[in-house]
Every structure is written in C-alpha cells, then in structure tokens.
Structure 1
Amino acid sequence: MILVGERDSMDYVAARCDERAMARIGRFIDLLVEENERQNLVAAATLDHVWQRHIADSAQLLEFAPQVPRGTWVDLGSGAGFPGLVIAMMRPDLHVKLVESRRLRSAWLSSCIDALGLDKCEVSHGRAEVLPAEEAAVLSARAFAPLPKAIAIGRRFSTADTVWLLPKGRSAAQEVNELPKRLRSMFHVEQSVSDPEAGIVTGRLTE
C-alpha cells in the first residue's frame, strides 16, 4: 500500500489511533506551522503535505513494532518531532525519549510535550554520543546520519532485543548493501507507505 494525498494519509493515521490522538496531532501541526516561522523545522513546501510527508511517514513505524515491550522508545535526532513525537501522540502509554542536540529545537519539543499533555514523553538535550546510555526497546532515527554512523552512535542504546527503525528515503537499500557483511545480515529494508521510492531500514543488532 502506498498512500496518495492528504486524505488518504489522514485516514491511515486515524485507523491506528484514537480520536484524542488525532486531536493532539492536529494541535501539533498548528504548533509546527507557527514555529516554522521562527526556526526552520521542516521545508516550508512540505507543510502543504504534512500528513503524508511527516505524520503518516512517522506513524508507519508502529507497523514494525506493534507490540512494543516494556522499555523506552528512543528517537535519535528528533528535530521537529519526527518520528518520535508522532509515536508519543499516537501511543501516549509508551515511554518515548526524544534526543535532540540543538537547543532551540529541544526547547520547542519540550513545549510541545507540555502543550499536548504527553506525560511519558521527554526530551534529552545533547549529542547522542555523550548522553547517558539507556537500553531502548525501540530505537528510531529519521534523517539522522548515514547508516554506518547511525549504527555506531545508536549501538550504546541497543541490546540484542532492540528493534531498530531507520527511515532512510531512497537510499535505504543502497546503505544496507554497503554495510560490512556481518552488519548487513542484521538489517533489511521495508517499503515506506508514504513514498513509493523510500524505504525503512529495520532489524536487530545482535553482535
């Protein structure tokens, strides 16, 4: 399934959460549009397709971790809140940690968490390389770093049971193929529902 347009994308998200979550997402989009006037959170042109380009693109990660075990969902380089904040809005029962090194974005993410009443979501301001390590049940990162670097940085949050979910756009398959053989066998690419040319690198780091 590939989503076509905003209505299709809204329906996709609505089918995977409740009305309260959809209201939170609507409020978040308002906050995003407003803040984007002050700092460049996302490309302005993508706001006309925000449900497909950002919300559904983030929401689809729940398909690959539908039964999140006890533990924390760690989102590296959260930026404008994708995908981590979307996951937190859709699944407020989960403990979600947003890792963001840029101070203005960290402050804005914290204000969103407060405005949206997400008690189990938190922001860790700082570079992932130097923050205290924490075992993640799920580790996500969107547009964070080339795959080898993302794996090297994320390794300190990972156990053999951690599910890795890394939206990589059109470069997904190429980046996996370029990994050393021992790593390549641990990851594969899933088709993105938001873009026919995009993929999601997923797997477990078992070494």
Structure 2
Amino acid sequence: MITNEQEARALVERLCDVDAAPRFDLFVERLREENGRQNLVSAASLDSVWQRHIADSIQLLLHVPRETTMELWLDLGTGAGFPGLAIAMARPEWNVCLVESRKRRVEWLSAMAAELELPRCRIEGKRLELVDSAPASVISARAFAPLPRLLDLSRRFSTSGTLWLLPKGRSAANEVDELPRQLKRMFHVEPSLTDPESGIVVGRAKEAKPA
C-alpha cells in the first residue's frame, strides 16, 4: 500500500518504461498553476498529488499484460488528465485518446500534450456520443459515470480483446454487484494501491450492453 508521496513517486518511476520524471515534474507544476484558474482537482489533494492522482493513475499499468498490443488507450471523461494523460506520459509510444467535453479543460489538456511532447496523445474535445467509433485496446475512466451507463456509452469501442480499467473508489464492489448477471461475470474488483478503501473494476466485455 502506498502511504506517502515518496512511495508514490517510487511506484511511478518503477512502472515507467522511460525516464518520465521530468515530464511528471513539469506536469505537477502546471497543474498547480492551472488549478488556481479552474478547479481541475481539489486544492487539498495537491498536497499529496503523487499519491492521490499520479500513482493512482499509473497503478493501472499493473493490470495490463505485457503482451498487450496497444492500438489505442481510450480514457473517458479525463478531466485534469487522470488517468489518461498520466498514462501517456508513462508510455509516450502508445496511442492515447483523452475524451473530455469541457472547453477550458480541453484547451489545457491540449496545451499540456504539446508542452510535454506527447505527439501520440490525442484530445477529443466533445461528448463521448460524438466521438467516432474505434476499437480500443484499453478503456479507462475515473469518476466518469455509473458502471451500467459507462458500459452503455462506450460499448461500441469494445472488442473481445478490450481491457476495461475503471477506478471506482469505494463504490467499486457495489457497482459490479449491481450489474446484470451476464455482465457481472466479466468484471472483478482489484484493490487500489493508493487508497485502502478504493477499488478498480477490471474486466473484458465484448458486448457491454446496458442494464
């Protein structure tokens, strides 16, 4: 379990294939600056930004098999860039698409992708319903929507090989339990390394049909 900023940073550095520390340091600096202009994250969480946001995002890599061919990592409702932009920094060779509909956040995310030199990180500044369908290797979402609604909205991006990685906080187990039987068996909950009370919904679902 990650209990402090030093441990969180160590986890991030261990899971990155490249020396991503300069990118993350710059990102944290810019996040603090921008948070004074728009409420990207809670101000209190900035005191533990590595644990609460960065390591919380990067831990998702532990659930991606090494043999995965990463055609596209699709992050829904990325907000301040978690987990999508953090993943793009950790794996700059991957194609990562961040879906975010709020204009000011889209502008900031686009500026960050450029400043962090992440040419394979694409920002879709629109509602998910308006994003063109494309098969995703991984679909992630952090506080995007209740699980049944999330699956309904994004099922057209899912194939038999798509991996779903959905940090759900304290509601993870309950949301999986409330799924219809045919969907419930496709998902399970893994414990979060950054919060003992939180969980990550992990699964594969070729047809994520609505409840």
TM interval, shorter chain, is: over 0.9
1:125 positional shift: 0.7
Question: Which aligned pairs between 1:1-207 and structure 2 lie closer than 5 A?
Answer: 2-17=1-16, 20-67=19-66, 68-207=68-207
Inter-partner Cα distance in structure 2 for 1:201 and 1:96: 20
1:18 positional shift: 5.3
Change (3 A) 1:160 1:19: closer
Q: Structure 1, residues 58-80: CA drift from partner, whole Å, max 9, x if none?
A: 00000111433141000000100
Aligned AA (2:111):
S
Unmatched segments (≥5 aa) in structure 1: none
Inter-partner Cα distance in structure 2 for 1:170 and 1:182: 23
Asked if the contact 1:186/1:206 (under 8 Å) is kept, the reply is: no
SS of 1:167's equivalent? strand
Q: Structure 1, residues 26-82: CA drift from partner, whole Å, max 9, x if none?
A: 100011000001100000000000000000000000011143314100000010000
1:20 positional shift: 3.0
Asked if the contact 2:18/2:90 (under 8 Å) is kept, the reply is: no
Aligned AA (1:46):
S
Q: Which runs of 4+ in 1 moved over 4 A?
A: none
Unmatched segments (≥5 aa) in structure 2: none
1:206 positional shift: 2.7
Aligned AA (1:187):
F
User: Which stretch shows the higher mean deviation, 17-26 or 152-161?
Assistant: 17-26
Aligned AA (2:107):
A
1:19 positional shift: 6.1
Give the paired residue count: 206
Inter-partner Cα distance in structure 2 for 1:119 and 1:187: 32
Inter-partner Cα distance in structure 2 for 1:181 and 1:18: 38
Indicate the RMSD between aligned Cα atoms, in angstroms: 1.0
User: Which stretch shows the higher mean deviation, 34-43 or 11-20?
Assistant: 11-20
Inter-partner Cα distance in structure 2 for 1:191 and 1:171: 12
Inter-partner Cα distance in structure 1 for 2:107 and 2:140: 20
